[in-house]
Amino acid sequence: MINDTLAEFYMMSGKFSDHNDFKNKLSDALSQGNKIVQLKNKGVIDSDEYLELANIANSVCLQFNAILLLATSVDIFQQTNANGLHLNSYALSEHLERPVATNKLLSISCHTLEEMKLAEKFSADIILLSPVKATSSHPELEGIGWQQFSQMIKQVSCPVYALGGMQVTDLNDAKQVGAQGVAVSSLWK
């Protein structure tokens, strides 16, 4: 399913040297028209630092009218003003009900149809399905390819972004098989 209010590109934060560099890289990416960003927690030292980054990101996203999703725990998320929470399917399975209010977005990363169905049960607003292609971040996983991706997304009713080995140039392929768009970290420079 395509949601006209969601962007085609789902950007994930990448490396940065300090908070100022983080703010500059986020501002640069959003100034290019990107409208969804996930603040990843990889490389972040502790929850206090993550909260600082989330506050910086929230301020920048407000300036650009962009959506901020936090890849963190529900406890940390609730201490912020972010637009939504991103969880992997394992973290989602630890909950008995939707972990965020319905006025906040819930984004879930999935690898199987079973995980996608679980995300749908929790009324996920966004699913990231991966890996579509082989990726260096998960070399143990083989890409599912566009055909299987297409078959899987037809079985859920929420928007699905292609993830795993994706580049900006994969957008047309993703859209042709019914994806909302692509989730990429290459927009972070």
Whole domain around residue 165: which residue ranges?
Answer: 9-184
Within a domain: 2:
no
Whether the pLDDT of residue 1 is over 80: the answer is no
113 belongs to a structural domain: yes
Gap between the Cα atoms of 115 and 155, Å rounded: 12
pLDDT in tens, 36-80: 999 998 777 789 999 999 999 999 999 999 999 999 999 999 999
Instruction: State the amino acid at position 81 in one-letter form.
Output: N
- For residue 174, what pLDDT is reported? 98
Residue 99 domain-assigned (yes or no):
yes
pLDDT at residue 56 in the model = 98
pTM confidence score:
0.95
150: CATH: 3.20.20.70
144 found inside a domain: yes
Query: If you average pLDDT over residues 154-183, what whole number do you get?
Result: 97
Q: Is the dihedral of CA 10, 187, 93, 54 positive or negative?
A: negative
Contact 71, 91 (CB under 8 A): no
Q: How many domains does the chain have?
A: 1
Of the chain, the percentage scoring pLDDT greater than 70 comes to 99
d(CA 120, CA 116): 6
Query: In the prediction, which pLDDT does 20 show?
Result: 97
Q: Is pLDDT of 6 > 90?
A: yes
Question: What is the C-alpha separation between 18 and 8, in angstroms, rounded?
Answer: 29
56 token code pair: 């910086």
H-run or E-run covering 116: helix 113-121
The answer as to whether 158 is a domain residue is yes
The pLDDT tens digits of the residues spanning 121-144 come to 999 999 999 999 988 877 888 899
Mean pLDDT of all residues in 12-38: 96
Binned at pLDDT 50, 70 and 90, residue 153 comes out as very high
